[in-house]
Structure formats: C-alpha cells, structure tokens
Structure 1
C-alpha cells in the first residue's frame, strides 16, 4: 500500500511542477516536455534520479523525467557492457518498447477515430 501512495505522491508532484511551469511562466507544453526529459536525463547522469525511482516507483518512471532517466541509465549500462558503442545502442535498447507502444497505439487511434475537419 505504501508503494502506491509514494507513486501517487511523487508522480503528482512532478505533474504539479509541470502545471505550475505552464501556468506561471511563458513556457508552452512542448517546452515543459523537453525540459522534463532533459532534467530527468541530467538528474540520472549525476545519480540523483535513481533514489527518486526507488522511492516513487512508477510515479517517477512513467512521467516524462522517467523517459530521460531511461535514456541515460540505458546508455550508461550499455557503455559498461560493450564500451564506446554502447553510447549508440543503450538508449535505443532501454526505450524501444515504450517508443514502439506509442507508435502502435498512435496508429491505432488514428485509424479508429476521424479527425475534425
């Protein structure tokens, strides 16, 4: 039960920060999206995002900073395994399933629903 509460709290705080950025600054949703992915990657690179993942579980991995974390942590793992070439393959391996799901579901939604003209 505690894991669910922490996921809710951590995920909710990330969303609140994003909403506040859009409401109180001139940042657009696209700016916030890029900012969150980059911040997730930076925090992961310096070792600060993994403790948040351990505390919040899906509340930290599902929002956009979690994608940046997955990119960086996948790259670092792959570099440890195979060296220099891991720079190119690590991020792709770590995020392939999520990207594939987004493309497939986007295609299915586009096929099923008609856009407004």
Structure 2
C-alpha cells in the first residue's frame, strides 16, 4: 500500500505541474519556483508533513519537499540562533541538495554533449 500511495501523491504533484505547463504561459522555471515556495509555505504551517505521512517518497522526492526542508531548517535555525538563524538554517538545510544538484549536473555535462534547444 505504501508504493501505491507514494505513486498517487507523487503522480498528482507531477500532474499539477503538467497541467500548469499545458494551460498557462508559465515557464518550467517559474513552476519550479512556485512548487518550492508552496512546499516552504505548507512546511511552515506543518501541512506538508501530513502529506509526507500519506505519500512517503511520493511527497519527499518532488520539488515541494525541497521547500519544506528549507522551511523546517529555517524554523530550527530561528529557534537555535534567533533571527540570523532564518538565513543560516535554510542554507544548512539545503546544502546537501544543492551540492548534489551541482555535482551531478556537472557530471552529466561531462558525460553528454549539452546543447541548447533550437
């Protein structure tokens, strides 16, 4: 049952993104920002954690989970270090994901021949 709920939750997140790309003039980059921002907002209010309980990996892997992680780290940073923790906590919480994205993006650029779309 865990696999099915993860598939449904992750699939619904992807369906929303696809509908936004097909029916609006939003670029994929703007949709990415919207998803991360929504994840941060829902995480700040504790709503995204309920979605993670239901969807498991289907909710922890997509982009809103990155925003959720940022929000949780910033909240933890504020509790530990005051206002400056809002900035340092988010950076600490996102460092692993950002580092992995840069590393694997660079690795793929070395392996494949990147080209711009024409």
Q: Same fold (TM over 0.5)?
A: yes
Match of 1:56 in 2: 55
Task: Give unpaired runs (5+ residues) of structure 1.
Answer: none
SS of residue in 2 equivalent to 1:114:
coil
Match of 1:29 in 2: 28
Match of 2:89 in 1: 90
For these two proteins, the number of residue pairs brought into alignment is 116
**Cα deviation code 1:75-101 (max 9, x no counterpart):** 111222232221121111111111111
Pick closer, same or farther for the CA change 1:85–1:116 going to 2, 3 Å: closer
RMSD: 1.5
Distance in 2 of aligned mates of 1:35 and 1:114: 30
SS of residue in 1 equivalent to 2:99:
helix
Task: Give unpaired runs (5+ residues) of structure 2.
Answer: none
Distance in 2 of aligned mates of 1:115 and 1:48: 39
SS of residue in 2 equivalent to 1:103:
helix
